[in-house]
C-alpha cells in the first residue's frame, strides 16, 4: 500500500496502491503478487506487475460511477497463504471484479470509502452472504 503524489497512472494526485491478484470474467486472472490495484477518486485501475505487465494486456479501469458496491470476504483456503477477496460489483451485472489480497482488506476498503466508493463493511462468507 502506498500513497503517491504527482502525475500517477491516471493523472491523479491522490491515490492508493495495493499489491495482490485479480479476477474478472473475460478479462484477467492473475494471482498475487502479479496485480497492482490503484485506487483514485475517479477510478479503480488494475495493472499487471512483472511478467503480467509484459504480456501487454491491461490496464483495466473501472470508473467510480460504474462501481455499485464493494465488499470483502475471506477466501477458504486449506493451505497458506490466507487470502481475502475484495469484490467490486459494477453496474453491468455481467461483469464483476475480484481483488485477491494477501493482507487484511480493511486498508483497501477504507481507501475506497474515503474516495467515495460504496463500501459495505458487513462481514460476508465465501458465498457472499452476510455473516450473522
Q: Does residue 128 lie in a domain region? A: no
**Taking 90 as the threshold, does the pLDDT of residue 25 lie above it?**
no
Identify the domain containing residue 83 by its residue range.
Answer: 2-114
Q: Structurally, how many domains does the chain consist of?
A: 1
Q: Over the stretch 26-81, which tens digit does the pLDDT of each residue have?
A: 788 888 888 999 999 999 999 988 765 656 677 899 999 999 999 988 776 666 66
Does residue 39 belong to any structural domain of this protein? yes
In a domain, 23, yes or no: yes
| Angstrom distances, CA of residue 74 to CA of 81, 86, 126 | 12, 9, 6
Given a contact cutoff of 8 angstroms between Cβ atoms, the answer to whether 10 and 42 are in contact is yes
CATH number at residue 85: 2.30.29.30
Residue 125 lies in a domain: no
Q: Is residue 121 part of a domain?
A: no
Q: According to the model, what pLDDT value does residue 2 have? A: 44
pTM of the model: 0.80
| Closest to 100 (Cα-Cα) out of 124, 74, 123, 125 | 74
pLDDT of amino acid 53: 62
Amino acid at each position: 500500500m502506498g500513497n503517491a503524489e504527482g502525475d500517477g497512472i491516471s493523472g491523479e494526485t491522490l491515490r492508493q496502491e495495493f499489491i495482490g491478484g485479480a479476477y474478472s470474467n473475460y478479462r484477467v486472472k492473475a494471482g498475487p503478487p502479479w496485480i497492482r490495484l490503484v485506487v483514485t477518486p475517479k477510478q479503480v485501475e488494475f495493472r499487471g506487475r512483472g511478467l503480467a505487465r509484459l504480456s501487454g494486456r491491461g490496464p483495466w479501469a473501472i470508473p467510480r460511477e460504474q462501481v455499485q458496491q464493494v465488499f470483502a470476504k475471506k477466501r477458504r483456503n486449506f493451505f497458506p497463504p490466507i487470502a481475502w477477496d475484495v469484490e467490486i460489483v459494477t453496474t453491468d451485472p455481467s461483469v464483476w471484479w475480484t481483488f485477491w489480497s494477501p493482507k487484511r482488506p480493511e486498508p483497501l476498503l477504507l481507501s475506497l470509502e474515503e474516495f467515495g466508493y460504496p463500501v459495505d463493511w458487513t462481514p460476508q462468507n465465501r458465498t457472499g452472504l452476510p455473516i450473522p
